[in-house]
Amino acid sequence: MTLALLFPGQGSQSVGMGAALADAFPSARSVFAEVDEALGQNLSQLMREGPEDQLTLTENAQPALMSVSVAAMRVLRTEFDFDLAKATYAAGHSLGEYSALCAVGAISLADTARLLKLRGQAMQRAVPVGRGAMASLIGPKTDLALAEEAAKAGSEVGVCVVANDNNNGNVVISGDKAAVDRAIEKAKELGARAIPLNVSAPFHCPLMQPAADEMATALASATIVAPSVAVVANITARPETDPEVIRRLLVEQVTGRVRWRESMEWMAGEGGVTRFAEIGSGKVLTGMAKRIAPDAESTALNTPEELEAFATSF
C-alpha cells in the first residue's frame, strides 16, 4: 500500500469544523491556540460559533481550514501514534498546499497561519469587488480542452483562464467578469453546464499578480525546510522537496492553475498511490479522488472516530 495525504482548499469550511477534535483532544486544542496566538485573533471561536459570513471571508477561511487539517494530523500522530513515514506523498488543493507543507514539517504552524492570513488579504486587495468572477464548468462533456476553448472565447474581451482543473466533469475558469460571462456562453454552446461561483475575487488568474507580489515578499523571508514527505505541487503536478523550489512555486500558485487532476493522476499512476486520505474539513477531495482514481481507496478523515479507525488500520 502506498499512501498519499490530501489537504482541502477553500469551500470546505463550515461553522463547527474542528470542534469535535478540540473537545476530544488536547493536541488539537494546542494547534488552535497556537494559530490564535500567531494571528492575534480568536479564529478558533469563529470556527466553532460563526457567523458563517465571517468564516467564509478568504482571510479567515484560509488559516481556519489549515488549522483543522494540522490539528487532525497532530491528533493522528500524538493520540494514535501514526507514523508520518507511512505516507509517501502529500498534496493540497490551493491553500491546502500550505496545510500539506505545514503537516509534513516544511513550514512552522505559526508561519503558515500568518502566510495564509496575508494570502487571503492580498487576494482580496488585488482586484476590486465586482471586477472579477469565477465559474465552474460541469457535466459529462466538460474537460480541460472544453474549458480552455471557453476561456479562449472569454479572453477576447478580458482576462480569462482555467483556474482549477479539478477532474473531468469539473473545471473552474477565472478572470474579468465580462470575460468569464463570455466564456460561460461559449461553454454552454460546447455542451457544458456553467455555474457562477460566489467568490470574493478571481483566484488563480493573472489578475492576482499584485497578491503574488505580496506573497513573494513574505515568502522570501519565511523559513522553509525540506518536507519529511514529498509534496505534489499544484503548479507542477509533481512531487517537490527542494525548499527554494517550493518557495517559488507558492508564489506562482497565486496566479497559476491548480493542476489537481494531473496531480492525482500522477500519484495514482507513476506514484503508485493506492490509498488517499483527506485530512481536515469536508469530503470534497475524496469525491474528486474517487472520480480520478477509482481503483484507489479514498477516505475523508473529519471526526475523532474516523481518525482512530484510520490510524489503527495500518
**Per-residue pLDDT reduced to its tens digit, 198-257:** 888 999 999 999 999 999 999 999 999 999 999 999 999 999 999 999 999 999 999 999
pLDDT, average across residues 281-298: 97
129 has a pLDDT exceeding 90: no
One of 136, 204, 281, 298 is an active-site residue; which one? Answer: 204
Contacts of 274 by beta carbon, 8 Å cutoff, 6+ apart: 1, 2, 3, 295, 296, 297
**Residues belonging to the chain:** 314
pLDDT for 82-126, tens place per residue? Answer: 999 999 999 999 999 999 999 999 999 999 999 999 999 999 999
Q: What angle do CA 66, 113, 203 make, to 5 degrees?
A: 70
Q: How far apart are CA 182 and CA 66, in angstroms?
A: 34
Grid cell 474539513 in the structure block, residue = 281
Q: How far apart are CA 311 and CA 296, in angstroms?
A: 18
277 has a pLDDT exceeding 90: yes
0.95 cut: is pTM over it? Answer: yes
Residue 40 Rama label (left phi>0; alpha psi -120 to 50; beta): left
pLDDT for 16-62, tens place per residue? Answer: 999 999 999 999 999 999 999 999 999 999 999 999 999 999 999 99
Helices (H), 9-91: 19-24, 26-39, 43-49, 52-56, 58-79
One of 94, 99, 174, 263 is an active-site residue; which one? Answer: 94
C-alpha cell at 136: 465552474
Q: How far apart are CA 158 and CA 178, in angstroms?
A: 7
Q: 273-297 burial, b if ≥16 CB within 10 A, otherwise e?
A: bebbbbbbbbbbbbbbbeebbeebe
C-alpha cell at 193: 453546464
> What is the per-residue pLDDT for 199?
86
Helix axes 109-126, 58-79, angle to 10 degrees: 160
C-alpha cell at 97: 498546499
Q: How far apart are CA 131 and CA 127, in angstroms?
A: 7
pLDDT for 61-90, tens place per residue? Answer: 999 999 999 999 999 999 999 999 999 999
The CATH superfamily of 3-126+207-311 is Malonyl-Coenzyme A Acyl Carrier Protein, domain 2 (3.40.366.10)
Average pLDDT of the chain to the nearest whole number: 97
The CATH superfamily of 132-199 is Malonyl-CoA ACP transacylase, ACP-binding (3.30.70.250)
Helix axes 243-255, 96-103, angle to 10 degrees: 160
pLDDT for 144-203, tens place per residue? Answer: 999 999 999 999 999 999 999 999 999 999 999 999 999 999 999 999 999 999 888 999
Q: Is 94 a catalytic residue?
A: yes
Q: Could you tell me what percent of the chain has a pLDDT over 70?
A: 100
DSSP-assigned states of every residue in 239-260: EE--HHHHHHHHHHHHHS-B-H
Q: Is 204 a catalytic residue?
A: yes
294 has a pLDDT exceeding 90: yes
Long-range contacts at 49-55 (CB < 8 A, ≥ 24 apart): 49/15, 50/15, 51/15, 52/14, 52/15, 55/13, 55/14, 55/15
Partners of residue 298 on adjacent β-strands: 276
> What is the per-residue pLDDT for 232?
98
> What is the per-residue pLDDT for 178?
97
Run of H or E residues at 136: strand 132-138
DSSP letter assigned to residue 158: S
In the chain, where the domains are located: 3-126+207-311, 132-199
